[in-house]
Amino acid sequence: MEGILPLNKPKGMTSHDCVFKLRKLLKTKKVGHTGTLDPDVTGVLPICIGRATKIAEYITDAGKAYEGEVTIGFSTTTEDKSGEVVEQKPVTESFTRNEILAVFEKLTGEIEQTPPMFSAVKVNGKKALRICACWY
C-alpha cells in the first residue's frame, strides 16, 4: 500500500502510537507521520505510507492551522491541562471580545515559540527540554 492517509488522530494516542499501529496493520515498515500532535489533542495527522514517505518533509514544512481552547486561572507542571496544577488564581475580571482578539492578533502569523517543558521537539537530535519553568 502506498499513499497519504489523513488520519483523524484520537485523544490519548501519540503520533508515534498511530504510526506503530499502522505499521502492524499494513504489515510495512515504511510508514511515517508529517508532524507531531500532542497526545491530549485530536486532529488530522497525515500519515505517509510506502513511497509517499519521500514527500513527508514537504508536507511537514507546509502551513498548518490550529484550533484551541484556553482555560485561564491556573498553571500546571507541563504547561497544558494534563499536568499537575501548581498555581491557581481566581479570575476576578471579565474580558471584552476586542481584548481577546487583540491577544489573538499577537499570535497570528509567523512567531517564534519556546517549546514547553515536555516537548517532542528535538535540537541536534536530542529532546529539547527546559530545566525550569516559572509563572508570575
Catalytic sites, residue numbers: 38
Contact 50, 30 (CB under 8 A): yes
Torsion angles phi and psi, residue 92, rounded to 5: -105, -5
Contact 73, 92 (CB under 8 A): no
CA distance 69 to 10: 17
The grid cell for 30 is 515504511
Residues 6+ apart with CB under 8 A from 91: 72, 73
CB neighbourhood size of 132 (10 A)? 5
